[in-house]
Amino acid sequence: MNVVAPKRTGRYDAGVMKYKEMGYFDLDYEPKDTDVLACFRITPQDGVDADEAAAAVAGESSTATWTVVWTDRLTACDKYRAKCYRVDPVPGNPSQYFAYIAYDIELFEPDSIVNLSASIIGNVFGFKPLKALRLEDMRLPISYVKTYHGPATGIVVERERLDKFGRPLLGATVKPKLGLSGRNYGRVVYEALKGGLDFTKDDENINSQNFMHWRDRFLYCMEAVNRAQAMTGEVKGTYLNVSAGDMEQIYERAEFAKELGSTIIMIDLVIGYSAIQSIAKWARRNDMILHLHRAGHSTYTRQKSHGVSFRVIAKWMRLAGVDHIHAGTVVGKLEGDPATTRGYYDICREQYNPQALEHGLFFDQDWGGMRKLMPVASGGIHAGQMHQLLHHLGEDVVLQFGGGTIGHPMGIQAGATANRVALEAMILARNEGRDYLAEGPEILAAAAKTCTPLAQALNVWKDVTFDYASTDTPDFVPTMTPA
């Protein structure tokens, strides 16, 4: 049978037409203050026009399907169509383009990361005409931001509750991360907290395995926390990981942590956006600090050509209501270009982010007074890097020295003390107006004269650096001014 398609005469005739011509592409469109904006990095298939690919992304992430549907005409369809309003070539990369797309705020359910993400990244990432697609950044209008509670506690109130001001907080992840019994695990917590850390932490995959069931861990950890508090007169905490296979168990674990008097609980990113928003609201109701481990994120954040940038995840998590988020160390063992990491930290900690292409921030973002999210630097850092950590990451951050505490030659308490003394010495010097970045090694050496554990730490780890090229780096150099 030979089917002859009828000749198209109008916009709503049955058949296939270019996305560009369906209302998803308008370079004259001026985004409204209330629009949700997204910047995608698109890599069209060979021979696919960049504008058409960009329009397709706008279409497939809003109302379009592959063919014309007459039922569009039952709606105010132009309002619901996302519009690609700008396409720029990626500097130095002829096969890629930045596509800027505006979405009407009416497309989104209030207070739902699930709905936001289902729209923006729900379908379009498998779209065949694209080789690859990456969501680089989003501008969330303040009218939409205000529909979320934001961090359960926030940086300022966390500091007030802990009575710790003027310096980064110190933590350590208990190692080895698998296999310790509850009793042995609590020993590590006690030693680290008594030695001078503020926090210890469960790792992402410490849940409730045969070697250590969760109740056992919580009981021994809280014994350690309370004992360390009594020995130091300081508020201490340990992030009890409440992540579990279903929401009922997550709540059960969180309630037990509360009963035992813990100041903080922890979840993994892999529990999912709805679970995160639920436990964030529980945390707000129960005066609990909520730590988020970004477990799994590198599967989609690391490669520049495809996936979702971590800066978008950081924005979503500030809305969703967590209090801590791992955001990179710059100098440690895990991926983290300094300029890109600076962008993540600004998203967590500032009230207003001006566009900063050199830090990967494509849009101005107003947080409307939403509470601040404490970034956490974890993975391959040690006391000898204290000046660099303070320089790159600033003061409102949790520095987590896992190996850098537990691996100390004289034991865990000594490791914790080395870190705390290094930190306090560096803050003292900074506040005195010294050039602490340049003089860092001398400042540490001077502090080590009255602190043997610090001298030992500096000696053991003096040559440890992780100097590899980053994969996720900004496309813009600092001098470039956006059009």
> Which CB atom, from 431 or from 452, has the smaller least distance to another protein?
431
DSSP assignment of 356-424? BGGGTB-S-EE-TTPPP-EEEEESS--GGGHHHHHHHH-SSSEEE-SHHHHT-TT-HHHHHHHHHHHHH
Among 123, 209, 431, 452, binds another protein (CB under 8 A): 431
The stretch near another protein (CB under 8 A) out of 33-41, 133-141, 218-226, 465-473 is: 218-226
Under the binding rule (CB under 8 A), the answer on residue 369 touching another protein is: yes
- Residue 375 pairs in a beta bridge with 325
Residue 100 beta carbon to another protein: minimum distance, rounded to whole angstroms:
29
User: Which entry of 83, 236, 293, 326 is annotated as an active-site residue?
Assistant: 293
Among 86, 146, 177, 227, binds another protein (CB under 8 A): 227
Binding segment for another protein among 80-88, 92-100, 161-169, 238-246 (CB under 8 A)?
Answer: 161-169
The nearest distance, CB 256 to another protein, in angstroms, is 8
232 near another protein, judged by CB under 8 A: yes
Which lies closer to another protein via its Cβ, residue 438 or residue 446?
A: 446
User: H-helix or E-strand containing 124?
Assistant: none
Q: Which is nearer to another protein, 121 or 169 (CB)?
A: 169
Q: How many CA atoms lie within 13 A of 351 on its CB side?
A: 3
The contact mask relative to another protein for 185-204 (x = CB under 8 A, - = no) is: -----------x--------
Angle made by CA atoms 350, 354, 358, in degrees to the nearest 5: 105
Q: Say how far apart CA 71 and CA 368 lie, in whole Å.
A: 38
Which residue's CB is nearer to another protein, number 341 or number 419?
Answer: 419
Q: Give me the least distance between CB of 227 and another protein, in Å please.
A: 6
**Which residue is associated with the tokens 């992780």?**
466
Residue 194 CB, nearest approach to another protein (Å): 10
Is 391 noted as a catalytic residue in this protein?
no
Contact (CB, 8 A) for 382 and 331: no
Per-residue burial over 307-328, b = 16 or more CB atoms within 10 Å of its CB, e = otherwise:
bbbbbbbbbbbbbbbbbbbbbb
DSSP reduced 3-state for 89: strand
By CB neighbour count within 10 A (0-12 exposed, 13-18 middle, 19+ buried), where does 227 fall?
A: middle
Among 427, 437, 455, 464, binds another protein (CB under 8 A): 427
Number of neighbouring beta carbons within 10 Å of residue 82: 28
Q: Which of 420, 456, 458, 475 binds another protein (CB under 8 A)?
A: 420
Q: Which of 17, 156, 178, 477 binds another protein (CB under 8 A)?
A: 156
Question: Could you tell me the CA-to-CA distances from 417 to 245, 302, 401, 458 in Å, in that order?
Answer: 37, 34, 11, 12
Using rule CB under 8 A, residue 452 touches another protein: no
Here the tokens at position 483 are 């059009």
Which entry of 146, 175, 306, 333 is annotated as an active-site residue? 175
293 counts as catalytic: yes
**Is residue 446 part of the contact set for another protein (CB under 8 A)?**
no
Transcribe 266-298 into DSSP letters: EEEGGG-HHHHHHHHHHHHHTT-EEEEE-TTTH
State the minimum distance, in angstroms, from the CB of residue 131 to another protein: 43
CA dist., res. 192 & res. 401, Å (int)? 10
Nearer residue to another protein within complex by CB, 131 or 227: 227
Interface residues with another protein (CB under 8 A) are 156, 159-160, 163-167, 196, 219, 222-223, 226-227, 229-235, 259-261, 351, 369, 372, 417, 420-421, 424-425, 427-428, 431-433, 447, 450-451
**Catalytically annotated residues:** 175, 293
